[in-house]
Amino acid sequence: MFFRGQTSFYTLNRSESIKKFLFGNSVSIEPSLTTSASRTNFRYDRLHFLLRYFIEQEVFSRKTGLDEKKAAWEELSTDPACRYDLAIKALAQHYGFPTNGLDVTTNLKVALWFATNKFNISNGLSSYSLMSQADWLDNKDSWPIIYVFQTILNTSIPSLQECHELTKLGVNALRPERQSAKFFMGGHGDLLNRLYLHLD
């Protein structure tokens, strides 16, 4: 099982024809679990190669354990499963870059924390603040929510990625480790709300 905490419940507003195609005559309220890149029209792919280059320059500028790092880099960068690129993308998401994936966690307490703490940006600095009583509006649809997912579909487990491959290169990502975080690969096109398919 894994979880995602959000400060509010958002729905995906699809056209009536798409709703009828997807859900038939059933009444459907589809939670919006789209990625930050799709919500902001951010083209992450351009940034990805800059991040990859930066990580490689940082890793190979340190002389300690250089032979082991080169061997690990060669193994990862030629891996047909693209674990290296997925780990970089997961790292980017966990540290706030808009990607075509979503942060999830295997720790319910972490999901609860994210559901009850608001993200703020002021003067170029970001922070979190605990929600107050005034933040709990009368409309229950605006209350914090924790989504619970089970890995029952064949596509669930391969869609969950981590950053641990980067530790072979000497890159230790403490934030995702402390948050028991995983990176869920989002979708494209009509599958932008792909995580919703895994909702329990």
Structural domain harbouring 90: 2-198
Print pLDDT tens along the chain (200 aa): 899 999 988 888 777 887 777 777 776 777 888 888 888 888 898 899 999 999 888 888 877 888 888 888 888 888 888 888 989 999 999 988 999 889 999 999 999 999 999 988 889 888 999 998 888 878 887 889 999 988 766 666 778 888 888 888 888 888 999 999 999 887 666 567 777 766 65
How high is the mean pLDDT of the chain? 85
pTM for the full predicted model: 0.83
How many distinct structural domains can be found in the chain? 1
Half-sphere exposure of 168 (CA within 13 A, CB side): 18
Cα–Cα distance, 129 to 133 (Å, whole number): 13
Secondary structure (DSSP) of 5-56: EESS--B----HHHHHHHHTTS----B----HHHHHT--HHHHHHHHHHHHH
CB 28 within 8 A of CB 14: no
